[in-house]
Amino acid sequence: MSDASGGTVGGGVLRNEAALAQARFPGRAAWILLALLLALGFGLPALVSSVLMMTLLTQAVISGVLATGVGFLVKQNGAVSFGHAAYYGLSGYTITLLLKYGVVPAEAAIVIALLVPAALAFLLGLVIVRIPGVAFSMLTLAVGQALYEFVVKARHVAGGDDGLAIALPPSLFGTSIRTFQDPHSMFVICWIVLVLVVFGLFLLVRSPFGQLTEAIRENEERARFVGYQTVVPRSLVYALSALIAALAGALFALSIGFVSPDVLHWSLSGPALIMAIIGGPKLLWGPAFGAVIFFFLKNLAGDLTEHWQAMIGVILILVTVLLPTGLAGALLRGGQRLRDKAAA
């Protein structure tokens, strides 16, 4: 897509149609990598017998799904959210309340729990994506904290500070509910979800829509000048990132069978953003990689000192200053250097 002069929108971000058509479909290597990653998810639980370790790995993967949603927003919209815990927690509470009052079957409750946060984010996005920079981030924080305060005060409906146990059915999607609460099998489910989410985003960013949103991120004014609507695509990106966060929240709720206001608090949104930055949001798998690193750094540092937050803060500063593309980008560059040396 080009302007009248034959140039491309956003400094060359939008490619010509022939290049787009070629880039839209992943090559054989991408499908092989997808199969290997899925196989890894099935194989790892067989190698790890510790229930505690599998529980930690499952929580890390769920955090990876949440961080992927946050990182996708940074990558496609160039926007930072401090409020994605709102969609993460809203998903869990939607499942809980729908099952508590027996409104719909459990499977339908999960689907609704994914659609409600996404729809809410899209409607909010139509307003807040127009606001640039720090103001956008503060608005996302305000939305998240408003929902948190509402749940805390709605004791008769949402249980207040005490939270709510989820009235899970004996089976879900034809599978025993124990499957979702056993760390080994739940890890496999969460891993498959994470891999498919990242692969789906990989396909999306190579599509015309992905190219358009990248062009808008690079130069929104020029994209608008050549005739593209910019608010709706940016709102859709925000909604999709919220949908991914809601998916993480649903997995978390199913794994522990309980929700509390903590799942809505900004103290969950902040670490998700840190995970994305440490891993590197420019790469779709970077935030998930950062989530795993963050999770184990947190547990390791917590065993060494009660000031583990300070250690994580130092690591975040070092990564931001020394590794602008995050640890994932550094890993790719290191691999490329090794291949270049081997080729030489």
Does any domain span residue 230?
Answer: yes
Long-range contacts of the stretch 35-38 (C-beta < 8 A, 24+): 37/195, 38/191, 38/192, 38/195
What is the domain count for the chain? Answer: 1
For residues 319 and 2, give the distance between their C-alpha atoms in angstroms, rounded to a whole number. 36
Assigned token pair, 53: 């370790």
C-beta separation of 238 from 126 below 8 A: no
- Identify the helix (H) or strand (E) that includes residue 302: helix 286-304
Tokens representing 52 are 């505690």
Q: Does residue 327 form part of some domain?
A: no
Contact 97, 163 (CB under 8 A): no
Judge whether 108 lies within some domain: yes
CA angle 298, 299, 304 (to 5 degrees): 95
| Within a domain: 338 | no
Q: What is the pLDDT along the chain (344 residues), one digit of tens a residue?
A: 444 444 444 444 444 444 444 445 567 788 888 889 899 889 888 888 888 889 989 999 999 999 999 999 999 999 999 999 999 999 999 999 999 988 899 999 999 999 999 999 999 999 999 998 899 999 999 999 999 999 999 888 888 888 899 999 999 998 899 999 899 999 999 999 999 999 999 999 999 999 999 999 999 889 998 889 999 999 999 999 999 999 999 999 999 999 999 999 988 999 999 999 999 998 999 999 999 888 888 877 666 667 667 777 787 788 878 888 888 888 888 887 877 777 76
| Residue 312 domain flag | no
- 64: closest CA among 281, 322, 256, 260? 281
Both structure tokens of 274: 């840190």
Burial of residue 231, with CB atoms counted within 10 A of its CB: 0-12 exposed, 13-18 middle, 19 or more buried = middle
Residue 2 and residue 315: Cα distance in Å, rounded? 42
User: Does residue 192 fall inside a structural domain?
Assistant: yes
83 has which bridge partners? Answer: none
Range of the domain at 96: 24-265
Q: What is the pLDDT of residues 153-193, one digit of tens each?
A: 988 888 888 889 999 999 999 889 999 989 999 999 999 99
CA 154 to chain centre: 28
Q: Quick check: is 276 in a domain?
A: no
List, for residues 201-251, the tens digit of each pLDDT value: 999 999 999 999 999 999 988 999 888 999 999 999 999 999 999 999 999
Q: Is 81 exposed, middle or buried (0-12, 13-18, 19+ CB in 10 A)?
A: buried
Whether 328 is in a domain gets the answer no
The angle subtended at Cα 307 by Cα 304 and Cα 312, nearest 5°, is: 90
